[in-house]
Every structure is written in C-alpha cells, then in structure tokens.
Amino acid sequence: MEILEWIMVGLLTLILGGIGMMKLTNNKDGIEQAQRLGYDHIRIPIGIAEVAAVIGVIVGAAVTDLEWVGFLAGAVIVAMMIGAAGFHIRAKDRFEILPSIVVAAFAILYMVAINAA
C-alpha cells in the first residue's frame, strides 16, 4: 500500500497544492472563480487550509509516528471538497463539481493506504 500512498501524496500535492496556491497568490482566474462562486471573502483562509492539508498529507506519509496527521489531513480534504462541491452546486456548475469529487476520492484512497501501512 505504500506505493498507493505516495501516488496519492503526489496527486494531492500537485492538485490541491496548486489550487491552494492559486488562491493565495492572487491569481486572476482564482479571484474570478471565488467571486463567481461567492467565497471571495474567505478565499485566503481556504487557500491556507488547502496548503496546510497538503503539508499534513506529506508529513503523515513521511514520518512514521505521525500517520495520524496524514489521516486527519485527508479527512479535512474530504470535508473541504464537500464544501467546494456545495459552492459549485449552488452556482449551478454542472461539471465543475467533478474535480472536487476526484480530489475527495484521492484523499479517501490516501487515508485507506496510510491506514493499511
């Protein structure tokens, strides 16, 4: 399961880390999406939470005694993706909900892999 764990770490780092950094770096597309979906007032805290969750996933996979940190970070990612899906549903974005589902699935796979290791 260690291979699956590290694959999920890589995917979550690339995808969620990128999304979080987009919110934190005042990326034009990120700002426009936040305004369109109605979370512009909490864009920065969400970005911080996304980047922190990625760091938690990495720590949980890399440090043997801190798997619980990774598991907790995975659970936080699932919760954030449920929230993201809610914003997309409210905005009637039919297909924009798919990335949230995929990232949540990656986080669940990571949690399964880290728990089995």
SS (H, E, C) the chain: CHHHHHHHHHHHHHHHHHHHHHHHCCCHHHHHHHHHHCCHHHHHHHHHHHHHHHHHHHHHHHCHHHHHHHHHHHHHHHHHHHHHHHHHHHCCCCCCHHHHHHHHHHHHHHHHHHHHC
Structure tokens at 7: 């694959």
Q: CA 69 to CA 42: how far, in whole Å? A: 24
Q: What is the mean pLDDT of residues 46-74?
A: 95
Q: What is the pLDDT of residue 11?
A: 96
Residue 26 per-residue DSSP state: T
The total number of structural domains in the chain stands at 1
Q: What is the pLDDT of residue 96?
A: 87
28-50 tens-digit pLDDT: 988 898 898 889 899 999 999 99
38: left (phi over 0), alpha (psi -120 to 50) or beta: left
- Is pTM beyond 0.75? Reply is yes
Report the percent of the chain where pLDDT is more than 70: 98
Instruction: Give 1's pLDDT tier (boundaries 50, 70, 90).
Output: low
User: Which residues span the domain enclosing 40?
Assistant: 2-116
Q: What is the pLDDT of residue 98?
A: 93
